Amino acid sequence: MEGLLTRSLTEADRDLLAALASRVSPQSMISRFHGAAGSPTPSLLDRLLDLAPGQREALIALDDQVVVAVVRYARDTQEGDTAEVAALVADEWQHHGVGLELMRQLASRARAAGISRFRGDMLSDNAGAQRLMTALGQAVSSRRADGHTVMIIDLAPS
């Protein structure tokens, strides 16, 4: 992560977030959004930018004002100690620890907000996302169905 700036995502980053999504490969978009690749719709950007401290937070990593990764959590409304988590890392930055470092920072914020578990819903063939989840904490459960894997992890103490 040397040379990268990390900070909270804000509404002012809408165009930078859209640019990240347009730069990643179709496979990265499918892995992240579980569907068709392509540019994010305005409604998807609205949803991703709907942030509220302690409920829905996101961090970005920037390389010279270009977003190279984004991670986000959204607190589960039914299970308040659990949050759904997701990441998107530019293809050229994958496997360099950027996603893991951002997720660790996000986990720290989540713990401070009273969240003790992350849940990740990923395509079953997304080994990178599965490794990322297990690097963050101890798996509580993992189940596969219909090409998806849902992992719940206890967040490791900081």
- For the stretch 111-136, pLDDT in tens is 999 999 999 988 888 888 888 898 98
Query: Residue 18 — φ and ψ, nearest 5°?
Result: -60, -40
Q: Which residues contact 36 (CB under 8 A, 6 or more apart)?
A: 29, 30
Query: Residue 124 — φ and ψ, nearest 5°?
Result: -60, -25
Cα atoms in the 13 Å half-sphere on the side-chain side of 31: 18
Give pLDDT, residue 49: 93
Count other Cβ atoms within 10 Å, centred on residue 8.
14
* pTM for this prediction: 0.90
b/e code 82-103 from CB counts within 10 Å (16+ = b): bbebbbbbbeebbeeebbbbbb
Strands (E), the chain: 5-8, 56-63, 66-75, 82-89, 117-123, 137-145, 148-155
Structure token digits, residue 71: 């991670």
For a pLDDT cut of 70, what percent of the chain falls above it?
A: 92
Give pLDDT, residue 66: 94
Mean pLDDT of 134-139: 87
Query: Residue 79 — φ and ψ, nearest 5°?
Result: -115, 90
**Residue 142 — very low, low, confident or very high, per pLDDT cuts 50/70/90?**
confident
Most distant pair of Cα atoms in the chain: their distance:
41
Q: Which residues contact 39 (CB under 8 A, 6 or more apart)?
A: 18, 21, 22
Mean pLDDT of 23-43: 71
Q: Which residues contact 41 (CB under 8 A, 6 or more apart)?
A: none
